[in-house]
A = this chain, B = another copy of it.
Amino acid sequence: MSIELISGSITAPKGFKAAATAARIKYQGRDDMAMIYSEVPCVSAGCYTKNVVKAAPVIWDKNITKEDLPVHAVVVNSGIANACTGQEGLDICQKTAEAVSGELKIPADSVLLGSTGVIGMQLPMDRVLAGVKTLAGALSEDEDSGHRAEKAIMTTDTVPKEIVFKTVIGGSEVTMAGMAKGSGMIHPNMCTMLAYITTDAAIDKVLMQEALSATVVDSFNMISVDGDTSTNDSLILLANGEAKNPRITSKNEDYGKFCAMLDEVCLYLAKAMAADGEGATKLVEAKVINADTKDNARTLAKSVVTSSLTKAAMYGCDANWGRILCALGYSGVNFDPEKVTLTFWDDDKKEEMLIYDSGKGQDYSEKEATRILSAKHVLLKADMHMGSEEATAYGCDLTHEYVNINADYRS
């Protein structure tokens, strides 16, 4: 039984509703608060930023997902990050959850919170509370309410990032949906991203957390837009069991299928974020093959997509492969530069173009290389000839628009 891509939004799995509203947190004239809700309590799993400076909602959510508490709702705002906001920021989390609790008649500690936006500003409590009230009244399982929720959590994102898969587990149809925002302040160890995944699968919490922690290593932790790891990164997975599949309680075939679907969702969302990096004109994929260890493969690949000089060259469609070699070289991984083979994938001709081998540049056509690098999706491949491990990292180019966006983000 295969995994099938279907249309839909975060409300696609059975029993999930969503809503969005224009709460005027910081933006005007657009939705900026969203809610996801399941009347049936969910088991939850979470992965969070490793930044020492953690936003208040990250601290709030971690306390809930690490315990085996039933989760009913997630409330997210865009515009203000509620990071570096001291005790007042934590109090705002408490009050927001209590307001949701009152509206939906659920425990306050069954409410997860997410924020993204400017660091250091306090959330306007009156607007947040008014937003909660509106959201609670607008909850709907319509596909469109999910699309609106996704759009409400976007900041500098230019496109929504949503994905839905279905499969059959233990004879039952199981659906999993993901939505995410993330464009700047994006770097391995969770990017400046908020990602929410819902599923109607029935599964044990511990197994689900293990699956989530495992999948981020090669998805969300392999993307980089600007090398900045945010204070607010959160990836939340909720499962309400409404698919009525035999509950997954061991690492059996059902679990394998669940993990495979989760991998697909996370990889799709991660790549979508890299491609929509602030100011980006293209997705840059760096694949490292035949490295000696998996960790080294990941480190090498990440170093390439993080290099400012490589990213600027990609923007200019300039086959300045020396910068790629250079980025591999300062990654901290030891290798023999004479043994590396570097190729660019030619997506028109469906073949590889040999760029660098045996310690020096090869006799390729600069014009052809520029054509290849002009694609919306560029794939750079480095064969280390050291072993059999591989990894892929996802990034984007560094553009004038990135500087535009970030020189006066707050204004």
Contacts and interface: CB of A to CB of B under 8 A. Distances in A.
Interface in A242-286: none
Contacts of A338: 86
Contact of A409 (B49, B184, B313): B313
Contacts of A360: 84-86, 88-89, 120
A52 B330 contact: yes
A396 to B, nearest CB: 12
Interface stretch (A10-18, A61-69, A173-181, A318-326): A318-326
A391 interface: no
Nearest to A330: B229
Interface in A328-376: 328-331, 333-335, 337-338, 356, 358-361
Interface string A221-236: 0000011111100000
Residue in A87, A325, A356 whose Cβ sees the most chain B Cβ within 10 Å = A325
Contact of A119 (B185, B322, B408, B410): B322
Contact of A227 (B227, B313, B408): B227
A309 B120 CA distance: 15
A228 B318 contact: no
A134 interface: no
A338 to B, nearest CB: 7
A326 B228 contact: yes
A316 interface: yes
Contacts of A407: 312-313, 315-316, 318
Contacts of A119: 320-323, 325-326
A53 B318 contact: no
A187 to B, nearest CB: 8
A184 B86 CA distance: 38
A326 B185 contact: yes
A399 B403 contact: yes
A306 interface: yes
Contact of A52 (B229, B316, B328): B328
Given A84-B325, A86-B359, 19 more contacts: A51-B330, A52-B328, A53-B326, A83-B325, A84-B322, A84-B359, A85-B359, A86-B360, A119-B325, A120-B356, A185-B326, A187-B330, A229-B329, A229-B330, A308-B406, A313-B407, A316-B409, A318-B407, A398-B403
